[in-house]
Amino acid sequence: MKTIIVVVGHSGAGKSTFIKAMGLDDCVYVTSQPLINELRRCDSLINHDTIFALSQDWYRQRPDWQIEQILTELGERNILIVDGPRYADEIRQLRTMSNIHTIVIAVTSTSEVRFERLKRRGKISLATSEEFTRLEQDEQSMEIDELIAMADFVILNGESGEKFIAKLQEEGRLIGLLLKKLF
């Protein structure tokens, strides 16, 4: 049976850090990548606002577009790690597929810690707390809290600093070792 490990959580919670520590880079699908690729193709800015707007447009056109992408990425692999789905129906659909075992891992953190991480990371432009508030409002509309509630496992990444990053990375390494043994 094929396995999909879905890692969910709010922006800046530590999903990517956790996934990278798994050491299974060739098995990772980042759900925002098709959106980023399309924005690049159109020579558009790439930031939270443009990614969010495009995703809303794609979901209006085809609510299941992400499932098709995930299944294509899974292909002949036995395992796929999916970084960052945003809608609960995606998980529900994956869980109904009899030939795929779906495990959901949530990585959570406080708003304050996520705000500081996102500013420091510079991956998206968050110069002000108002921008972060807008990002959180957008994420509320995407059912992320419901996804976290659906998780089989929850990893609390609630502090910032090297000690907590090391703890998150160690958890990711342990899961990665377990998956390597199984697959």
CATH (residue range 2-31+65-182): 3.40.50.300
Report pLDDT for 122: 65
Report pLDDT for 159: 66
**Long-range CB contacts (within 8 A, 24+) of 144-147:** 144/8, 144/9, 144/10, 144/86, 146/88, 147/8, 147/85, 147/86, 147/87, 147/88, 147/91, 147/104, 147/106
Assign 67 a pLDDT band (cuts: 50, 70, 90).
very high
Predicted model pTM: 0.86
* pLDDT tens, residue by residue, 102-161: 999 999 998 888 888 887 776 555 556 777 888 888 888 888 999 999 999 998 887 666
Mean of all residue pLDDT scores within the chain: 87
What is the C-alpha to C-alpha distance for residues 172 and 81, in angstroms, rounded to an integer? 12
What is the C-alpha to C-alpha distance for residues 148 and 158, in angstroms, rounded to an integer? 15
C-alpha distances out from residue 149 to 94, 123, 169, Å: 16, 27, 22
Task: Indicate the Cα dihedral angle 80, 86, 89, 90, nearest 10°.
Answer: -20
